[in-house]
Amino acid sequence: MDIKIRKATENDFPAMFGLIMELAEYEKSPEKVSNSLELMYEQKDYFKCYVAETEEKEIIGMALYYFAYYTWVGKTLYLDDLYVKEAYRGKGLGSRLMDKMFEVAKAEKCKRMRLQVLNWNHPAIKLYKKSGFTVDKTWYNCDIEDL
């Protein structure tokens, strides 16, 4: 199977949103998704994405990211979602998407790459540790929504 990793375009937004919803189901939180396809089009300047595409042009995975600035470190690539459809997991696709993110972070002269992972998502934790990430259990997430 030949899988191509390429930059996403606006034409990919429907498939990407489908993957976002699959991820929300996987993380047992579909009710927390307040994003929409319309909002993705409206806010397209705030994120970037690479997709994994089959020969048949089916999008089966993605790495959605944006750049942030952290006072202690500087420019950071924040990997918001790395997701591969269940049928394609275990074939190295997550590693290929992660490699692409490292390539982008280096090309953009980022000082760090950051992501979050649920404490029960052991396959993802294993991938991230294998990729060289440190999993820090010290910090808490603090969010305010519906502003």
**Where do the structural domains in the chain lie, given as residue ranges?**
4-130
pLDDT of residue 35: 97
Residue 65 among the catalytic residues: no
pLDDT digits (tens, 9 = 90+) for 8-54: 999 999 999 999 999 999 999 999 999 999 999 999 999 999 999 99
Q: For the chain, give the mean pLDDT.
A: 95
Report yes or no: 59 and 53 within 8 Å, Cβ to Cβ.
yes
Share above pLDDT 70 across residues of the chain, in percent, rounded to a whole number? 99
User: How much is the average pLDDT of 132-142?
Assistant: 90
DSSP state letters, 36-76: -HHHHHHTGGG-EEEEEE-TT--EEEEEEEEEEEETTTEEE
Cα distance between residue 114 and residue 139, in whole Å: 13
**Segment 73-101 mean pLDDT:** 96
Reference 70, options 40, 113, 103; nearest CA is 113
3-state secondary structure of 6: strand
CA distance 51 to 93: 10
Taking residues 47-75, report their average pLDDT: 97
Task: Give the residue from 125, 20, 108, 102 showing the smallest Cα distance to 68.
Answer: 108
Given its phi and psi angles, is residue 74 left (phi above 0), alpha (psi -120 to 50 degrees) or beta? left
Q: What is the DSSP string of 79-96?
A: EEEEEE-GGGTTSSHHHH
Is the pTM here over 0.85, yes or no? yes
Give the right CATH number for 4-130 from 3.40.225.10, 3.40.640.10, 3.30.565.10, 3.40.630.30: 3.40.630.30
pLDDT band for position 141 (cuts 50, 70, 90): confident
Between 144 and 38, whose confidence is greater? 38
Task: From the candidates 70, 78, 128, 140, give the one annotated as an active-site residue.
Answer: 128
Tell whether the model's pLDDT for residue 1 goes beyond 80.
no
